[in-house]
Amino acid sequence: MNVDGDGFLTEQADQRAESAIQPHLAVFERLNEILALIRAFIKAHSVPVQESETDHQRIIALVLATRILEISEAGILIMRKGMTNESMTMLRVFLDAYFVFGNVCTNPGFVKEYFQTDLRARLKLMNVSQQHSSTLFASARAYADQEKDNLKSTVDSEGAKAFKSEEYAKNIGCSEIYDSLYRLTSPSLHTTPRSLEKYTQEDDAGNITDLVDGPQPGDIGQHAYDFAHFLINVLGGLRDVFGETDSENQDELKDKLNASVNKIS
């Protein structure tokens, strides 16, 4: 079998990755600027008293924004290595966090609902553990035998819901994003057949002739743009939650981002 490339950790791979992202450096520059603005906002704000619903909304918005920073920077590291499939995976992970963040910013009452989803997740794990007799689940079964009934009672009494990204997307007017970008980035996360396409080359008869093991341009420029676009909204969400709305600045950031794309189009 012919194999094109030697992975992502060689000097040759670094050169190929650099060539892949070179046309999109202006977009990456905008992306890094937006990340810096979000980080500066987080550092400049605190919630010393965390008693009211608004207090909880603000502190969890800051925590989620910090989570989003990590996801985004992981995405940048991956994109700069030319890992096209994994850049899609990170974008999908980003969107899950983005939908939660949007709900927190637009609905203070969502914070409680969000944390109650962990009750459902724990109950599901207990139910699963009781379906297996192996030693792998021994400690989980013992814990479930003691705590499951109490946990189920809490879930029922508090009306705890399961974590549902589709519902969270709909709540903030992102149904189209869920049904397009979210679904399109899912194959790489789940390794569906469509995710294998990037690793192969075929002949005219559709037979696989070569494997591709290394950096590829793919849609990395578009993914960097998508990260930046949504991060501008994250910055806007933080400002809204803290009563510091600045729509003109957001528009300016989007104009600069779009201008960086025009430079390479």
Smallest CA-to-CA distance from 65 within 249, 238, 240, 245 is with: 238
Query: pLDDT of 121-130, one tens digit each?
Result: 999 988 888 8
Q: What's the maximum distance between 2 C-alpha atoms anywhere in the chain?
A: 67
Range of the domain at 121: 2-262
The model's pTM: 0.93
CA-to-CA separations, 245 to 236, 237, 240, in angstroms, rounded: 7, 8, 5
- Tell me: pLDDT of 166 over 60: yes
d(CA 166, CA 105): 17
What's the confidence (pLDDT) of residue 262? Answer: 64
Distance CA 63, CA 152 (A): 28
264 pLDDT higher than 80: no
Question: How far is Cα 80 from Cα 14, in angstroms, rounded to an integer?
Answer: 9
Residue range 80-89: average pLDDT?
Answer: 96
Question: Domain total for the chain?
Answer: 1
44 alpha carbon, distance to own chain's centre: 24
pLDDT-derived band at 265, boundaries 50, 70, 90: very low
The mean pLDDT value for 11-21 works out to 95
